[in-house]
């Protein structure tokens, strides 16, 4: 049995052909097949589920608009993933001006402690939802760089070009995010352990 956070799409070439012909039923079938994977990606970039759903819809519209350009040698799942990630990056760029820039005033311990997520020690490992909640406590740019480099597998050069920052800045944000996440996980487990005693 596959873990609940993995999604496998069963998209046939016939379904893709029907989507190229703009058949609404086919597009709806494709949407149902892609939704889980696309939502999983969007939730890594947005903490609000409603915003993530809107981003999924926006990315799916791009999939439908560009489906004629899909080439089977790439793999459909990879192609959709790439469009979804690029849509998330575009959304980040658009909202970047609305967001505060990285501010070290937010780094005091009381801020981080207020952002803690409880973890069930009986499971002996952190579940994906708890880890996602901890990642969402990171400053927006650190979260974005961490997601792209660590979770989505882009290298520093690609991420620096996507976000318009230097490679050294990307490396710093990944290092900072890893260090902060390690601290948060440790604090979370210690807090849970003390609560059990």
Q: What is the DSSP string of 18-31?
A: HHHTT-HHHHHHHH
The pLDDT confidence band at residue 24, using thresholds 50, 70 and 90, is very high
Q: Could you tell me which residue, 61 or 140, shows the higher pLDDT?
A: 61
> Which structural domain, as residue segments, surrounds residue 156?
104-196
Q: Answer with the one of 74, 96, 118 that is the final residue of a domain.
A: 96
Number of domains in the chain: 2
Is 122 part of a structural domain of the chain? yes
pLDDT at 168 over 70: yes
Q: What would the pLDDT profile of 80-136 be if each residue is shown by its tens digit? A: 999 999 999 888 888 765 554 444 434 444 444 444 444 444 343 556 777 788 888
Is 1 part of a structural domain of the chain? no
Is 5 part of a structural domain of the chain? no
Residues 92 and 158 placed together within one structural domain of the fold: no
Question: CA-CA distance, 170 to 40, in Å (whole number)?
Answer: 23
Is 52 part of a structural domain of the chain? yes
Residues 123 and 162 placed together within one structural domain of the fold: yes
Q: Could you tell me which residue, 143 or 8, shows the higher pLDDT?
A: 143
Question: CA-CA distance, 78 to 63, in Å (whole number)?
Answer: 12
Is 3 part of a structural domain of the chain? no
Which contacts (CB < 8 Å, 24+ apart) does range 167-172 have? Answer: 169/145, 170/145
Residues 47 and 110 placed together within one structural domain of the fold: no
């Amino acid at each position: 049995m596959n873990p609940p956070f993995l999604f496998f799409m069963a998209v046939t070439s016939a379904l893709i052909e029907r989507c190229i012909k703009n058949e609404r039923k086919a597009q709806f079938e494709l949407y149902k097949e892609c939704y889980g994977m696309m939502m999983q990606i969007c939730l890594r970039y947005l903490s609000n589920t409603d915003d993530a759903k809107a981003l999924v819809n926006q990315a799916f519209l791009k999939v439908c608009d560009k489906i004629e350009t899909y080439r089977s040698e790439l793999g459909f799942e990879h192609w959709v993933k790439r469009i979804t990630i690029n849509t998330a990056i575009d959304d980040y760029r658009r909202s970047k001006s609305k967001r505060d820039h990285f501010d070290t005033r937010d780094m005091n311990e009381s801020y981080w402690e207020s952002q803690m997520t409880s973890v069930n020690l009986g499971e002996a490992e952190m579940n994906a939802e708890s880890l996602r909640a901890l990642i969402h406590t990171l400053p927006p740019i650190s979260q974005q760089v961490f997601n792209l480099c660590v979770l989505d597998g882009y290298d520093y050069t690609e991420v620096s070009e996507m976000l318009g920052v230097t490679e050294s800045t990307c490396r710093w944000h990944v290092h900072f995010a890893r260090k902060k996440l390690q601290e948060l996980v440790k604090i979370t487990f210690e807090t849970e352990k003390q609560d059990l005693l």
